Amino acid sequence: MDYNSFFTRDYKSLMEQAPRRRLRWTGLHTLLLVSVMVTVSTVLIFVSADAEATRSAVPPSVANESPARRITIPLNFPALQADEETQPLTQPAATAPASTDDQAESALEADWRTVKVRRGDSLARIFRREGLAPTDLHRIVELGRITRTLRNLRPGQVFRFQVDADGRLLAMEYEINRLESLIVTRRDDGFEARAVQHTLESRLAYAAGEIHSSLFEAGKAAGLTDGLIMELVGIFGWDIDFAMDIRRGDSFSLLYEEQYLEGEKVKDGPIVAAEFTSQGRTYRAVRYTDARGRTDYYTPDGHSMRKAFLRTPVDFRRISSRFGRRHHPTLNRMKMHKGVDYAAKRGTPIKAAGDGRIVFRGRKGGYGRVIIIQHGG
């Protein structure tokens, strides 16, 4: 073999002499090419559609926003739209029109008339003044015992009348006092009446004082009413003679109830507990209601405050004459006064000092009307 001649050949001559292999184009190649072209075309169509939809959904103002700002765009999903179409829309309360019942109720409320009882007024006169039918007055008065209180009107009491457009009485409210009211309502067959009792709220209050001149002045300085002062006297009246035993420096303290209606004080309630110090000796009392509903005052160790005799058998205002020698108002000379005279307003009840038997009742000389009670045997 001639190797020299092989090495001296040019590489180009080798390329020219190398046989060329031609690719055979078959039907399978054609089918693959068509499939690829269809797939690419389909992808391009969907991508273009999404891009167009996205561009149209963004408001023009969003394109000018800063990239750092977060923007939320609501999407309309078909499922949610279907649900919203089937559900009624809820209107805001502020724009909701008032119902017919509310309007009617407001109209009725506006037709209430308030009338204050004048001096010399009767229910018939008030009805006549307000233009109400006398037949309605007769039907109300004939309702029975519950409307008897309408016969005794007092100046300052309040009536409220509800009338319709024709002036016909629909309802009446009579304020007997702060705690009681009478309400009359029209029915198909006439009128119906009912009494209403207002519930009071009880609050505890505390008061204390020291006596310098009199119990009444000390009680007033402590904020007590006359009724509370006399209740305090009644509690300790079995042990203390409030006419003779009270001295300067004596002291008292008490816990009592105050009755409120709608946040306003109406009256004082009972004393719950009290303490009284007289001439260095201290007495204490506590209010207690037993299982049978009887209420009384007891000492802290359970003994009743009631004794055989009351030391002060009258709710006195002051002592007009003490026991001892005094200037006799009629004889105009000094004479022994064997008793204690209490001064109180007319109508003040006088209590018996203890249990006993009445041996005399009538007039007796200068004493006037007298009741003499024999105690014991």
Question: Would you tell me which CATH number, out of the four given (2.70.70.10, 3.30.530.20, 3.90.550.10, 1.10.3130.10), belongs to the domain 318-374?
Answer: 2.70.70.10
Residue 70: per-residue pLDDT: 40
pLDDT at 1 over 80: no
- Predicted pLDDT of residue 203: 95
Give the C-alpha separation, 129 to 135, whole Å: 15
The answer to whether the 201-298 and 318-374 domains have the same CATH topology is no
Per-residue pLDDT at 46: 54
User: Percentage of the chain surpassing pLDDT 90?
Assistant: 34
Contact 254, 271 (CB under 8 A): yes
CA distance 81 to 9: 83
Average pLDDT, the chain: 75
pLDDT of residue 71 exceeding 80, the answer is no
Q: Which CATH class is domain 109-197?
A: alpha beta
Choosing among 3.10.450.350, 3.90.1010.10, 3.30.360.10, 1.25.40.20, the CATH entry for 201-298 is 3.10.450.350
Question: What whole-number percentage of the chain has pLDDT above 70?
Answer: 63
Give the mean model confidence (pLDDT) for residues 255-282: 94
pLDDT of residue 189: 84
Residue 63 pLDDT: 45
Whether 368 shows a pLDDT value over 70: the answer reads: yes
Domain boundaries in the chain?
109-197, 201-298, 318-374
Query: Does this model's pTM top 0.85?
Result: no
Q: Is the pLDDT of residue 320 over 50?
A: yes
- Predicted local confidence at residue 98, as pLDDT: 46
pLDDT at 88: 45
Please name every residue paired with 60 in a beta bridge, in sequence order, or none if there are none: none
How confident is the model over 173-204, as pLDDT tens digits?
999 888 889 999 999 888 999 999 888 899 99
pLDDT beyond 80 at 131: yes
Stronger pLDDT, 358 or 18, i.e. the higher one: 358
pLDDT of 73: 43
CA pair distance 371, 357, nearest whole angstrom: 10
